[in-house]
Structure 1
Amino acid sequence: MDKQSGFTIIEVAVIVAIIGIVSAIAIPNMIGWIANGRVNSGARDVVTLIQKARIEAVRENSKVAAIFNSATGDYVAFVDDGAGAGTAENMIQDGSERTVYSSQLPPGVTFTGTLLGAGGGKTSFNSRAMPSYAGPIALTNSRGYAVTIRLGTGGIPTVE
């Protein structure tokens, strides 16, 4: 008798069924992990902006503004010194005020609570790295996962 090696069709079908069941369970969880990872990534990037703004304010001995636009998800830090026909210390990037750092939130992530500044979403750092406004900056995804960055009165951001 000849011995033939290999898999039977039943063995292959069982393996394919097991892979399908495991995938059906794992893929929705992986999608949630990716979405939550984007919120965490956005929070780390916002903290980076705050740290760079603080460092630049000390280095330049000038005010550096940090603006968070909840409508577009953009955020920018710039030296608010009124360079090139701009107005100094108005928390609006005008004239040729130099950008320190700018970025945008990852897809699916939004600012849901930036309680900085009179109009919300803005602060500036003085030459001692102290913010003009302190408070929370909240980021949320469509699944409801949220991360809050608290900017303390000493200028130190903490992620919660």
Structure 2
Amino acid sequence: MEELTRSVPRLPFSADAGMVNKTANQHGFTLIEVVVTIGIMAIVSAIAIPNMIGWRAERQLRGAVNNLVGDLQLAKITAIREAEHVAVVCNTGAGSSYRVFIDKNLNWTEDADDRLLRNVTTPPGVVIDSTTFTNNRTRFRPDGIPSFIGTVTFENSSQISPLKVVINRVGRIRIE
């Protein structure tokens, strides 16, 4: 009989208070702890996710602008190093892109004897909105000076401020 009473588990209730007595071998979370944790996670997610989406759109826009700046620097350096004219031709609007090539016959068109240096399409959601170059193009002369000064404006489908790449008279390239 003694063995039978030892094998019967004790109820976790106190006879006098009706409350749960936690013993050292009881583990786990209460329902209140789980609900509070889920609530905190929901609040943090509601704050963080929109910020992450905006951050991603801004990074795409900045990345596209930085790529153009690097490719304009490449065009300028190539023009000086190879003593050639290097053209940069932009296509604006949906499906924006730009091409950088050595323009041997100075006709603004990539011909068989011209060498393509870059052909870049902007990432999804990023467009080249406009340029102030004549016919959306400029060319670096063998001395590194651009034939046309102006700006290239990039926009994102989000409500982020547009960014501009500016080329001045001496060929300095900067972001505004």
TM-score where L is the length of structure 2: 0.82
- For 1:99-138, list aligned pairs within 5 A: 99-117=116-134, 119=135, 121-138=136-153
Question: What does residue 84 of structure 1 align with?
Answer: none
Q: CA deviation at 1:28?
A: 0.9
Aligned-pair CA distance for 1:6: 2.3
Which of 94, 98, 103 aligns to 1:75? It is 98
- Counterpart-to-counterpart distance in 2, 1:128 and 1:7: 73
- Say whether residues 1:148 and 2:170 are aligned partners: no
Q: Deviations over 1:9-33 (max 9, x none)?
A: 2201110111011101211111011
> Which position in structure 1 is the counterpart of 2:82?
60
Aligned-residue RMSD, C-alpha:
1.3
How far apart, in 2, do the equivalents of 1:92 and 1:148 lie?
Answer: 25
**Out of 35, 60, 65, which is 1:38 matched to?**
60
Length, aligned pairs only? 152
What displacement does 1:102 show? 2.2
Select the structure with the greater relative contact order (CA < 8 A; seq sep ≥ 6): 1
Q: Which consecutive unaligned segments of at least 5 residues does structure 2 have? A: 1-20
**Which residue does the alignment assign to 2:8?**
none
Letter matched to residue 158 of structure 1: R
2:97–2:128 CA contact under 8 A, matched in 1: no
In the alignment, is the contact (CA less than 8 A) between 1:64 and 1:77 conserved in 2? yes
Could you tell me the percent identity over the aligned residues? 35
Larger Rg: 1 or 2? 2
